[in-house]
Amino acid sequence: MNSFGKIFRVSIFGESHGNELGIVIDGCPPGIYFTEEDLYLDLTRRKSGIKGTTSRQESDEPKIISGIYEGYTTGAPIAIIFENNNTNSSDYSLFREVPRPGHADFVAMKKWKNFNDHRGGGHFSGRLTLGLVSAGVLAKKIITPMKVAARLLEAGGNSDIKNAIDEAVVENDSIGGIVKCVTTSMPIGLGEPFFDSIESLLSHIVFSVPAIKGIEFGSGFKAAKMTGYEHNDKYISVDGITKTNNSGGVNGGISNGNDLVYRVAIKPTSSIPKRQHTMNMQTSQIVDLDIKGRHDLCVALRIPPIIESVTAIVLADLKMIYQSYKE
Amino acid sequence: MNSFGKIFRVSIFGESHGNELGIVIDGCPPGIYFTEEDLYLDLTRRKSGIKGTTSRQESDEPKIISGIYEGYTTGAPIAIIFENNNTNSSDYSLFREVPRPGHADFVAMKKWKNFNDHRGGGHFSGRLTLGLVSAGVLAKKIITPMKVAARLLEAGGNSDIKNAIDEAVVENDSIGGIVKCVTTSMPIGLGEPFFDSIESLLSHIVFSVPAIKGIEFGSGFKAAKMTGYEHNDKYISVDGITKTNNSGGVNGGISNGNDLVYRVAIKPTSSIPKRQHTMNMQTSQIVDLDIKGRHDLCVALRIPPIIESVTAIVLADLKMIYQSYKE
Amino acid sequence: MNSFGKIFRVSIFGESHGNELGIVIDGCPPGIYFTEEDLYLDLTRRKSGIKGTTSRQESDEPKIISGIYEGYTTGAPIAIIFENNNTNSSDYSLFREVPRPGHADFVAMKKWKNFNDHRGGGHFSGRLTLGLVSAGVLAKKIITPMKVAARLLEAGGNSDIKNAIDEAVVENDSIGGIVKCVTTSMPIGLGEPFFDSIESLLSHIVFSVPAIKGIEFGSGFKAAKMTGYEHNDKYISVDGITKTNNSGGVNGGISNGNDLVYRVAIKPTSSIPKRQHTMNMQTSQIVDLDIKGRHDLCVALRIPPIIESVTAIVLADLKMIYQSYKE
Amino acid sequence: MNSFGKIFRVSIFGESHGNELGIVIDGCPPGIYFTEEDLYLDLTRRKSGIKGTTSRQESDEPKIISGIYEGYTTGAPIAIIFENNNTNSSDYSLFREVPRPGHADFVAMKKWKNFNDHRGGGHFSGRLTLGLVSAGVLAKKIITPMKVAARLLEAGGNSDIKNAIDEAVVENDSIGGIVKCVTTSMPIGLGEPFFDSIESLLSHIVFSVPAIKGIEFGSGFKAAKMTGYEHNDKYISVDGITKTNNSGGVNGGISNGNDLVYRVAIKPTSSIPKRQHTMNMQTSQIVDLDIKGRHDLCVALRIPPIIESVTAIVLADLKMIYQSYKE
């Protein structure tokens, strides 16, 4: 359940307040230069520290423990781990009785019969995305010359994002956002009809990222209001390049050579500083809830490098699968 | 690439104008009553024939060829096939040279090096969903008492759908739509954190259905404009029932006992009767394109039973996986 | 449960006395010439009809219903079905109460709660290997220039196989045998360390073939009695060719360029004409059992083309996986 | 390629001389008591230190880094790592040029284009089985009341095993052996017909263990010389217990309630102290080879706990899959 991919395959493990968390990457070709230094840029982009993100400060120091020899991938699985240092688990014990609205506290207890590690959200923590970002750095190398770039389009409905954050701080409340991801230099032919369509695989892994509520490719939800004549992208070259890109770069589940474009909706963090009401599940009383942990007011700020990473992971796998067809 | 699921697993095959197409369903528990008669209702809902759908008339007669004995599932894989009778392949030969805008013609040729069966869209045809609908009927039995219902909310941006279709017929153009799917009587605990989240698996299979451009769960894209205080669903019972359902019935990837709610955007069919321009890929000339085949003006009309089916397929698998944890 | 392979993937379905049985082959590259005619040779080799095999005469006429267009694979999944014509189910009703010793009758009833199709062994029938042999013909084309050849080494412990069969007919009893499979022109590098070792994948699919009791690679069980000095194969060329081939062509799970060699042990058919005793599971009485169905006295005679096929299926998948690593 | 299992799923990583190696176990039910202490017994059984095993002394101290909270499995993936301390990589540099006969040195270089970590055998090292043994301890708890026990039947063809080792030490040569594995208290119904037969899954994982050359179930290779009348196991109870156990506890791929019995052949270690000849792959000269590393003279001594573990891993998965069918 914690693995994804067919050839280039990732498996994640860990908890927010455990000793270490990490990822295992299987199926990576040998001979790719890959060291801890490669990871710093994207890990920093993912990191908290700017206004609107959690005050929990973690060094996020990656440790590659297998699969690399003298700086290069060997062909064997690559394991990368991160220590959890700045943990404060006392903040969380309450939530076993009084689950946070909008959070996984309640379902984790029910599904796992109270054996779940509830500290810091346990296995449901956004910290698990550290591994995804690490695998993404490697995947980005594999998919060259394809290039993935994601950015935050708006936060709290506001495209002036700095402004939106300032407001959220004043309101003591969290806000959502929209991230757009564009991959350029796409080859034709990645993806499969039906179950392994590009959209299927991308949406699968995108919804693995905590807080995502929606995804749309190309024209997306606007397509529902368009006519075929408007929506059809006209070919302007024998390479399949089209005048418009309502397709988002995908026809019939397969890349068509145009930019791969999609957008995702991110919900506002459920852990908010503002006082709210919830139910004490032991007593069935409605009680006040003041969340004291350290949380993001706008987790969407940290999502772009994660979205890039999961995109690269899917494309690396699809590229390798496509190569398997060619002699 | 043409299989989906872990325990309850479907594999589809076939082409629009081949002799037969079908599905193999593996991992179905024994002892479920399942006959051809059970399929008629949903196959008819999926069928063309009403205004706005293709004039190709197929009997869509299912033939269960394995896995059923004296009316009951045996435990062995269930294969169901459908004949293609009403085919007219002459309409399609042109598209090898002059690919239809918005259609898979071009990528199918490129990916499969011109060996693709282009007749009627070949393997990319919406007819492949016959198998999905059949598997869905079986899955609906497995997931009892859960109940899945999908309906068309709007077509061409118009919630008066009859009106929207009439307009499309006049305009000689196709239109898109939005389908909403609600599953009631959900248990708590289906789905897994991260890669096998309910949203991950549902979006994976939903984007396998041709023409889908977007999916959103619960509050969906609206969540991006909300605050955490607004978005958090307040608990009103110790069973996890909440006052609002912005979560769409899922927290942390796991069902929370509320209704499972999502919406999908369907693009307008790319094959339209209206004259359009495209490129002749041999000559690189822009040419007129008049599509003469029989196509849906509003394929969204036929999507609800398909969406119900793929939802039931995912839930059947997740239910069985959840049962595997319990002694 | 009824699927095997990562890229080149087969799914089988059907029963001995159902209407049709078959196979779906996914992940096959486009552009391979493949028609029903290609199948006749290996299907005939697998067929009964010679002394020592069942008197059930089936035409074994393959019908390719998808994935082929104008004689070539298209890239879409290939489904092949076979009709069951010469069935006589009355022979089998008894075995629900009085299971045949050594046969799957008993476990099928228990596992599938009496919903199993017991006629002719149902889904457990050796007829399911028709699909495997068909997929094998295609796989043999993919793995060119590798060449797989299997032959019966001995039957009933006798390397004069004609003699062994004659004796079995006289004794009214069935006999087992040993089949050896050799693949020549092996490239270096197929297979993976650990779970996807060549031996792992081959033994996995070989034990899917009914009646197999053991498998050994290269020196096999003799290795247990050898010293390292004797067992180590000395290199005689920089291409990795060795003087002896105790390795059976595999080191560390990976092909080493020498012939891939393994042997399998086949048990005597459990359905024998000779009277035997078994238990009536309703009454717990020991009763006489006279099996009247049509069965093989030496099923090992029919195993070589099946073993070749499953070998080719594994090698096709491994070849494609290896190609996925190369740009 | 480094993962195995459907529900209860293991992924291994690491190298002989890397910093750490380990395993990730996914799909484990919550609420099972599991601590480092539980691992000591089987890790010690697997360890070197007795006569005939390598002089490399590793503490083999397991560190559970995720998936356990307050001593119990949480439902999240369990990662266990081991440090490599007692490494001496200088012994190995030679083997890039002069590969050891019978070893993976040569294929690892070829497959992974010289990027392989060759130190101590790298990813091909038997040390990777530390993870398998750890997962096996957990799996043994899941499969209760089933009980797995493996033992060394003979070494170097000699059932007086102490004697066999003494002789090997004198000869300066390695020896192979045969291990038998018996699982008692088997339920009826584990395993699936065809590709997920018990024999298929067991042989798959057994051949992942380095040095295995053959596997046989129940009567095994002897079956090839038997008649059906001799081989058929007569029922002696309505629970399916039989007088003999030629089936090895499996019919049609499914457990029949009798003991699950199989034997594996282990080859003599390829790294031997005795001088041997090999080829220098740069110069194509035949050269003397004196291996100075620390290696097992009879690795078969260490195999029983590994075989038990992989058996338990398969049975845990099959038990969970079987439970998924039951409501």
Question: DSSP of D130-190, one letter per residue?
Answer: HHHHHHHHHHHHHTTT-EEEEEEEEETTBS-HHHHHHHHHHHT--B-EEEEEEEESPPB--
**What token pair was written down for D97?**
């040029």
* Alpha carbons within 13 A on the beta-carbon side of C315: 30
Interface touch A232/B272, C-beta < 8 Å:
yes
Residue of D107, D204, D237 lying closest to C251 (CB–CB): D107
**Chain A interface disruption, residue of C24, C190, C325, most A CBs within 10 A:** C325
**Chain B interface disruption, residue of A232, A266, A283, most B CBs within 10 A:** A232
pTM above threshold 0.90: yes
CA nearest to B270 within chain A: A228
| B156 at interface of A, judged by CB pairs closer than 8 A | yes
CA nearest to C322 within chain A: A324
Q: What pLDDT shows up at residue B327?
A: 61
Statement: residue B60 has pLDDT above 80: yes
Burial class of residue D212 in the structure, from the number of CB atoms within 10 Å of its CB (0-12 exposed, 13-18 middle, 19+ buried): buried
Q: What pLDDT shows up at residue C291?
A: 87
CA A87 to chain centre: 22
Interface touch A195/B176, C-beta < 8 Å:
no
Note which residues in 191-210 of chain B have CB less than 8 A from chain D.
193
**SS3 label, residue B266:** strand
Report which secondary-structure segment, H or E, holds A156.
none
| D327 at interface of B, judged by CB pairs closer than 8 A | yes
Cβ atoms of C132 and C23 closer than 8 Å = yes
Q: What is the dihedral of CA C67, C68, C74, C77, to 10 degrees?
A: 20
* End-to-end C-alpha distance for chain C, whole angstroms: 33
* End-to-end C-alpha distance for chain D, whole angstroms: 33
Cβ atoms of A186 and A255 closer than 8 Å = yes
- What span, in angstroms and rounded, lies between the C-alpha atoms of B325 and D324? 8
- What span, in angstroms and rounded, lies between the C-alpha atoms of A245 and A249? 7
pLDDT in tens, D173-218: 999 999 999 999 999 999 999 999 999 999 999 999 999 999 999 9
**What token pair was written down for C194?**
């650990």
Statement: residue B81 has pLDDT above 90: yes
Statement: residue B49 has pLDDT above 70: no
Burial class of residue A274 in the structure, from the number of CB atoms within 10 Å of its CB (0-12 exposed, 13-18 middle, 19+ buried): middle
- Mean pLDDT for A107-132 is 92
> What are the residue ranges spanned by the domains of chain B?
3-324
- Mean pLDDT for B264-286 is 94
Residue of C18, C65, C116 lying closest to B66 (CB–CB): C18
Where chain C has pLDDT below 70, the residues are 48-49, 91, 293, 327
- What span, in angstroms and rounded, lies between the C-alpha atoms of A160 and A154? 7
**What token pair was written down for C208?**
């899917």
From chain B, the residues in CB contact with D325 under 8 A are: 29-30, 75, 320, 323
List C10's β-bridge partners, or say none. Answer: C4, C25
Cβ atoms of C136 and C310 closer than 8 Å = yes
Interface touch A197/B208, C-beta < 8 Å:
yes
Shortest distance, CA A80 to any CA of chain B (angstroms)? 18
**Ordered alpha helix ranges (H), chain C:** 36-46, 105-111, 129-142, 161-171, 198-206, 228-231, 303-324
From chain A, the residues in CB contact with C193 under 8 A are: 76
Shortest distance, CA C135 to any CA of chain B (angstroms)? 15
Of C199, C205, C247, nearest in space to C222 by CA: C247
How many A×C Cβ pairs under 8 Å? 34
Cβ atoms of D53 and D297 closer than 8 Å = yes
Cβ atoms of A117 and D66 closer than 8 Å = no
From chain A, the residues in CB contact with C327 under 8 A are: 323
Residue of D7, D30, D193 lying closest to B321 (CB–CB): D7
Residue of D12, D223, D231 lying closest to C194 (CB–CB): D12
Note which residues in 16-75 of chain B have CB less than 8 A from chain A.
none
Cis peptide before C187 (omega within 30 of 0): no
CA C114 to chain centre: 27
Q: What pLDDT shows up at residue A291?
A: 87
CA nearest to D322 within chain B: B324
- What span, in angstroms and rounded, lies between the C-alpha atoms of B280 and B98? 5
DSSP letters, C158-207, are BS-HHHHHHHHHHHT--B-EEEEEEEESPPB--S-SGGG-HHHHHHHHHT
Q: What are the backbone angles phi and psi of residue C244, rounded to the nearest 5°?
A: -105, 175
CA nearest to B238 within chain A: A281
Residue of D7, D30, D76 lying closest to B324 (CB–CB): D7
**SS3 label, residue C154:** strand
- Within 8 A by CB and 6+ apart from A295, the residues are A54, A174, A269, A271, A272, A273
Strands D20-26 and D78-83: antiparallel
Shortest distance, CA C123 to any CA of chain A (angstroms)? 27
Inter-CA distances, A114 with A92, A118, A302, D8, D72, Å: 14, 9, 30, 20, 11
Cβ atoms of B36 and B103 closer than 8 Å = no
Q: What are the backbone angles phi and psi of residue A193, rounded to the nearest 5°?
A: -65, 150
Interface touch A324/C7, C-beta < 8 Å:
yes
pLDDT in tens, D66-85: 999 999 999 999 999 999 98
| CATH ID of A3-324, from 3.60.150.10, 3.40.50.300, 3.30.465.10, 2.170.16.10 | 3.60.150.10
Cβ atoms of C301 and C45 closer than 8 Å = no
- What span, in angstroms and rounded, lies between the C-alpha atoms of D310 and D133? 8
Residue type, B301: L
Residue type, A202: L
- Mean pLDDT for A46-72 is 86
- What span, in angstroms and rounded, lies between the C-alpha atoms of B194 and C141? 40
**What is residue A297's DSSP assignment?**
S
Statement: residue A52 has pLDDT above 80: no
CA C77 to chain centre: 22
Q: What pLDDT shows up at residue C61?
A: 94
Statement: residue D31 has pLDDT above 90: yes
Shortest distance, CA C75 to any CA of chain A (angstroms)? 9
How many A×D Cβ pairs under 8 Å? 157
**What token pair was written down for A142?**
């594999």
Q: What confidence category does residue A327 fall into, taking pLDDT thresholds of 50, 70 and 90?
A: low
Tokens 């006589």 found at: C88
Mean pLDDT estimate for chain D: 94
- Mean pLDDT for B14-33 is 95
Interface touch C77/B27, C-beta < 8 Å:
no
Residue of A224, A269, A321 lying closest to B157 (CB–CB): A224
Interface touch C13/B81, C-beta < 8 Å:
no
| C14 at interface of B, judged by CB pairs closer than 8 A | yes
Interface touch B324/D327, C-beta < 8 Å:
no
Strands B212-217 and B260-266: antiparallel
Burial class of residue B236 in the structure, from the number of CB atoms within 10 Å of its CB (0-12 exposed, 13-18 middle, 19+ buried): middle
Interface touch C102/D228, C-beta < 8 Å:
yes
Residue type, A91: D
Q: What confidence category does residue D327 fall into, taking pLDDT thresholds of 50, 70 and 90?
A: low
Residue type, A119: R
**What token pair was written down for B131?**
């198998």
In C185-296, the DSSP E strands lie at 212-217, 250-251, 254-255, 260-266, 276-280, 285-289
Of C76, C71, C63, nearest in space to C21 by CA: C63
- Within 8 A by CB and 6+ apart from A186, the residues are A146, A249, A255, A256, A257, A258, A259, A260
For chain A, percent of residues with pLDDT exceeding 70? 98
**What token pair was written down for C252?**
């560390």
Q: What confidence category does residue B59 fall into, taking pLDDT thresholds of 50, 70 and 90?
A: confident
**What token pair was written down for A323?**
């190569």
- What span, in angstroms and rounded, lies between the C-alpha atoms of C38 and C138? 8
**SS3 label, residue D32:** coil
Cβ atoms of B267 and A250 closer than 8 Å = no
Residue of C6, C193, C323 lying closest to A326 (CB–CB): C323
Residue of B154, B238, B246 lying closest to A281 (CB–CB): B238
Residue of B177, B214, B219 lying closest to A215 (CB–CB): B214
Interface touch C78/B15, C-beta < 8 Å:
no
- Measured at the CA of A13, the angle between CA A7 and CA A18, to 5 degrees, comes to 165
Of D207, D206, D185, nearest in space to D260 by CA: D185
pLDDT in tens, C223-264: 999 999 999 999 999 999 999 999 999 999 999 999 999 999
Shortest distance, CA D14 to any CA of chain C (angstroms)? 12
**SS3 label, residue D58:** coil
